[in-house]
Structure 1
Amino acid sequence: MTISLMNLPYSRNALEPVISAATLEVHHGKHHQAYVTKTNALAAEKGMEGSSLETLVRWAASNQDRGLFNQAAQVWNHGFYWFSLSPDRTSPAGDLETRINADFGSAEQLIAKLAEAAVGHFASGWAWLVLGEDDKLAIETTHDAGTPLVSNRLPLLTIDVWEHAYYLDRKNDRKAYVEAVLERTLNWDFALANLVRKEAWTYPA
């Protein structure tokens, strides 16, 4: 299959004032699109143009193909990020809330640790809430295109901390961006759905 640029799950202005339509136009319409275009070109070179995005990411990681991995993983990470955001305020519920209270003490403590990880991550990358191999929730960061998709951890939510995620709106103030996302637009319903499903989210075909 040819990998396509997925549609945003909301309108481009739906996340304002946290993330502007101008940022989404560039971030989704240009950065994400560029990763899609390069992924398809590299997959075709390797005779893998019929493969799913998840197959490409995992194959590239296991074969240490950094070129394909960097492009394909960024396509997947960005798709996951769009769903990690919501124009509607949500809160942890169900089994997710129970696990957060058990593993972090409270949602407030989880958010504080997630903010610390996202703001403190050096250079470009991602901050993740994952379900670890020990069946406990954990926070981790990855550099560049790094993704839990190629580990034994189940990704539940992510925050993009590459500068292109916030520079048009916040200049170099990553802290303001992260705090606004955590306060108003993080999609806890998506995290719960990932937890309940018990397998990694699949990029829309």
Structure 2
Amino acid sequence: MPYQLPELPYAYDALEPHYDEATVRLHHDIHHKGYVDGLNNAEAKLAEAREKGDFGLVKHWERELAFHGSGHLLHTLFWMNMTPNGGGTPSGSLGERISQDFGSFEGFKKQFSAAAVAVEGSGWAVLVWNPEFGKLEILQAEKHQNLTQWGAVPLLTVDVWEHAYYLKYQNKRAAWVETWWNLVNWSDVAERFEKCKA
């Protein structure tokens, strides 16, 4: 089955004033769809290569698979990680674990924001659960897939590709990251945290 663009869990204008409707429409309907289409194309080309026994372009299509597949996964998480009237601080075991692994929620928030703003070029900041290390980590992902850790489970992500914020925030990435905290869906992040620990 080809991969499909998931519907947003809210209306296009639901994240206003922090995230404008025009950007959400472009970001979801054009950019995210582009990664879904690229993923489907890479899967089809690899299937064709297996069928023909011709792997001359396998390096290219494997890169396309990683790039578009990671883009699709991270964008899907990104939309679910936001909610109208979000923000605040996490509670329960997630809140406790953040304090344990980062010293405090404020320490976590400052590190996460700094990581997001410092991504080189286009990419993401991602809060992950690393089951091998038994702790939460903050990672950067450049071009969707670079600088990640094997086995790490993404829980929370912010998109810092310019297409994610340029219409409203122009080149002010730090301003986008600061306002994005008002949208964080901590219930979604906590649910993901509990699932990956189980």
TM (normalized to structure 2)? 0.87
Matches within 5 A, 1:125-140: 125-132=123-130, 133-140=132-139
Aligned with 1:158: secondary structure?
strand
Distance in 2 between residues matched to 1:71 and 1:147, nearest whole Å: 12
CA separation of 1:149 and 1:191: change in aligned 2, threshold 3 A? farther
Aligned to 2:55: none
Alpha-carbon shift at residue 117 of structure 1 (Å):
0.5
Aligned to 2:142: 143
CA separation of 1:170 and 1:84: change in aligned 2, threshold 3 A? same
Alpha-carbon shift at residue 148 of structure 1 (Å):
8.5
Contact (CA 8 Å) 2:123, 2:140: kept in 1 or not?
yes
CA separation of 1:98 and 1:88: change in aligned 2, threshold 3 A? same
Q: Which of 81, 86, 92 in structure 2 is aligned with 1:84?
A: 81
Alpha-carbon shift at residue 120 of structure 1 (Å):
1.2
CA separation of 1:6 and 1:160: change in aligned 2, threshold 3 A? same
Alpha-carbon shift at residue 64 of structure 1 (Å):
8.2
Q: Deviations over 1:87-132 (max 9, x none)?
A: 1224311110110111112211111111110011111011011112
Q: Which amino acid aligns with 1:20?
A: D
Contact (CA 8 Å) 1:73, 1:147: kept in 2 or not?
no
Does residue 1:73 correspond to 2:70, yes or no? yes
Distance in 1 between residues matched to 2:25 and 2:170, nearest whole Å: 16
Does residue 1:41 correspond to 2:41, yes or no? yes
Distance in 2 between residues matched to 1:193 and 1:148, nearest whole Å: 25
Q: Which of 185, 188, 193 in structure 1 is aligned with 2:186?
A: 188
Contact (CA 8 Å) 1:149, 1:155: kept in 2 or not?
no
Aligned to 1:2: 2
Matches within 5 A, 1:50-199: 65-90=62-87, 91-132=89-130, 133-146=132-145, 151-182=150-181, 184-198=182-196
CA separation of 1:148 and 1:197: change in aligned 2, threshold 3 A? farther
Q: Give 5+ residue unaligned stretches, structure 2.
A: 49-57
Larger Rg: 1 or 2?
A: 2
Contact (CA 8 Å) 1:128, 1:140: kept in 2 or not?
yes
4+ aligned runs moved over 4 Å, structure 1: 147-150
Aligned with 2:5: secondary structure?
coil
After superposition, the CA RMSD in angstroms is: 2.2
Distance in 2 between residues matched to 1:122 and 1:148, nearest whole Å: 11
Aligned with 2:9: secondary structure?
coil
Identity %: 36
Alpha-carbon shift at residue 151 of structure 1 (Å):
1.7
Aligned with 2:83: secondary structure?
coil
Aligned to 2:32: 32
Distance in 2 between residues matched to 1:146 and 1:179, nearest whole Å: 24
Distance in 2 between residues matched to 1:36 and 1:101, nearest whole Å: 36
Alpha-carbon shift at residue 12 of structure 1 (Å):
0.6
Distance in 1 between residues matched to 2:166 and 2:14, nearest whole Å: 18
Aligned to 2:16: 16
Distance in 1 between residues matched to 2:186 and 2:41, nearest whole Å: 35
TM (normalized to structure 1)? 0.84
Q: Which amino acid aligns with 1:43?
A: E
